Chain A
Amino acid sequence: MTVTADARVPRPTHPFFAFLLAGAVPLFLGALLSDLAYGSTAEVQWSNFAAWLILGAMVFTGLALLWALVALLRARPRKGWPLLCFVLLLAAFALGVVDSFVHARDAFAIMPAAPILSGIVAAIVGLAALAGFSSLRSGESR
């Protein structure tokens, strides 16, 4: 078995980064579905669900964003999948903050912004996950 000394040999995505990326997607998706349910029923509990799901999603997205930033800084060259993943997570986080504030409004004041924002963020974070899983970490020792 040959062990290469080249630190640039690509490795697959780190399991914890994969966990963060994969975790954020269903949480934002759940928020979107809850928002849609609230929009059609005016049952306020759906809006409460959405607010908590977004909070959870933001924890995952925030940690994933930090991870992606470090990965980007360590990547050579600093472009391609790592850059795309970072940019998408940054966009998802920024819009997620706005989505959180929208969900802090009372009752139907969250409409129609809530499902629109949650939908966009869910899509972006989904793309970020795809980009994250497509990027290959450089194999420096940890």
Chain B
Amino acid sequence: MKRLFAAALLAALASGCGQDAGTDPVQYGADPQLPRQQRGLVPSMKIADPAPWGDARPTVPQGYRITAIATGFGIARQTLVLPNGDILVAEGRGGGERALRPKDIIAGFIKAKGTSQAKSGNRLTLLRDADGDGVYEGRTVFADKLNAPYGLALVGGQLYVANQDALVRFDYRPGQTKASGPPVTVTLLPSQINHHWTKSLAASPDGKFLYVGIGSNSNITERGMAAEVDRAMVWQVDAATGAHRPFATGLRNPTALAVQPGTGQLWAVVNERDELGPNLVPDYLTSVREGGFYGWPYSYWGQNVDSRAQPQDPAKVASAIRPDYGLGSHVAALGVAFSSPAMGPLFAEGVFVGEHGSWNRSRPSGYKVVFVPFRGGRPAGPPVDVVTGFRGADGKTRGRPVGVALDPRGALIVADDLSNTIWRIVPERRSPAAEAPTRPAAPAPRADPPATSAPY
């Protein structure tokens, strides 16, 4: 009887959300379907139920193979493939904001159930496959005592690391397995509260500038407008001086940045706001325009006003840019990397996107790595599943993808921060031709070659 009552109460509470009936709207591409905003008493929810991999493995397309090359990290987030093939893994968990409301305590407790319980590593681990057989037998701590490192970029002999509170730099020589000393701080980064603590990173093709993605301090300004100064934007940082300025704003949580090979254009994946229903707001992939404003907090997907943010700013809403490509609501895109023909004809031109997976939906979305095909340097066509099976048919979640990186020799590197594993996906029958550079991944309107190793 009591259970019946509880079930009836829950149903009554959820009915306000009225969402999960029927099929989901099409939310990928340039013009995603945007349903009406829905606000029930409790948000639509499904928290990941973690389970070990056991003998299970993520699923990859036919003709590809996936292996776990290393595990046991202190929360594996982003990776960087160095020119000699070594892989750097940024490990850590940041944030730790204090609960402001009763809700924060409850929501924090619920959401923590779907994530790794491992301790924050706060370090960079280097993985090495010296003989090129795909087995990464070498493993060293490249640098430790960092503060929740996330974004990584190599510019010539400088390795840049975006900690949750500062952009720092190490000297790097090819073949190095350990940093030669403590890092130099390039600039401090906004870190008060740090609700969205991850600091994503990419370098301009000439290496003069670094781009740092800084997430908002709230879902939708519920910590006040003042907490959002210097948040929800991409900074451009002068590598030489550390001087910085907002490059683009209104990007709620730009969790990963990548520079397009050939064009030098900056791209980002951005996590959009929650609690407007299971099908709002689509996370997106977009080219980042200098000086552009992308809506947060006043509006989403262009001029769709979100009245939760008060006071509103109609002038800002009018100026809001529509992003290039919707990825689907609540998929939680946390990684982006440009592909190359070395990944096979299916994935020759486009980007890989790591989708951590939803909480704000009763029918989960994300929990996979997808490929967004490009044509003529722009997204073209629906996303293609690349790595799936992180969420099994049994409803258990065995892994959650975060950072994706391309090994130019023809491998996709995926960091999984639930099982704390680094996955490597390779085309199975690789002809020697695939190893050699064939054609550029994207048309190159500008002829100047990248002066640096682009941080894929």
- The reply on A18 being an interface residue by CB < 8 A is no
Cα–Cα, bound, A105→B107 (Å): 11
Give the CA-CA distance A39 to B121 in the complex, in Å.
44
B265 interface residue per 8 A CB criterion? no
* CB neighbors of A among B371-398 (8 A): none
Q: Are A51 and B103 in contact (CB under 8 A)?
A: yes
Across the interface, name the chain B residue whose C-beta is closest to A58.
Answer: B102
Decide yes or no: A51 and B224 within 8 Å by CB, A101-B41, A101-B42 being known contacts.
Answer: no
Q: Is B311 an interface residue (CB 8 A)?
A: yes
Q: Mark B79-110, 1 if CB is under 8 A from A, else 0.
A: 00000000000000000000011110011000
Contact, CB under 8 Å: A43 / B224: yes
Residues of A near B41 (CB, < 8 A) are 98, 101-102
Asked whether, in the complex, the Cβ of B218 is within 8 Å of the Cβ of A106, the reply is yes
Report whether over half of chain B's contact residues are helix, strand or loop; otherwise say mixed. loop
Cβ contact of B102, chosen from A42, A45, A51, cutoff 8 A: A51
Tell me if A73 counts as interface (CB < 8 A to partner B). Answer: no
Are B224 and A106 interface neighbours, CB within 8 A?
Answer: no
CB of B223 within 8 A of chain A?
A: yes
Given contacts A42-B310, A101-B41, contact A107 B221 (CB under 8 A): yes
Count residues of chain A with CB under 8 A from any CB of chain B: 20
Kindly provide the distance from the CB of B330 to the nearest chain A CB, expressed in whole angstroms. 15
Is there an interface contact between A44 and B102, defined as CB atoms closer than 8 Å?
no
Q: Which of B13, B100, B218, B311 contacts A101 (CB 8 A)?
A: B13
Could you tell me the distance between the alpha carbons of A44 and B225 in the complex, rounded to whole angstroms? 8
* Given A101-B42, A106-B220, A55 contacting B308 (CB threshold 8 A): no
Report if B313 contacts A (CB, 8 A). Answer: no
Least CB distance from B272 to A in Å reads: 13
- How far in angstroms is the closest Cβ of chain A from B25? 22
Do the beta carbons of B101 and A107 come within 8 Å of each other?
A: no
Q: Which residues of A contact B103 (CB under 8 A)?
A: 51, 103-104
Please, which residues of chain A bring their CB within 8 A of the CB of B225?
44
Please list the residues of chain B having a beta carbon within 8 angstroms of any beta carbon in chain A: 13, 39, 41-42, 100-103, 106-107, 218-225, 275, 307-311
Please give 16 more A-B residue pairs, beta carbons under 8 A apart, in addition to A55-B102, A108-B307. A44-B222, A44-B223, A44-B224, A98-B41, A100-B102, A102-B41, A104-B42, A104-B102, A104-B106, A105-B275, A106-B219, A106-B275, A107-B221, A107-B222, A107-B310, A109-B220
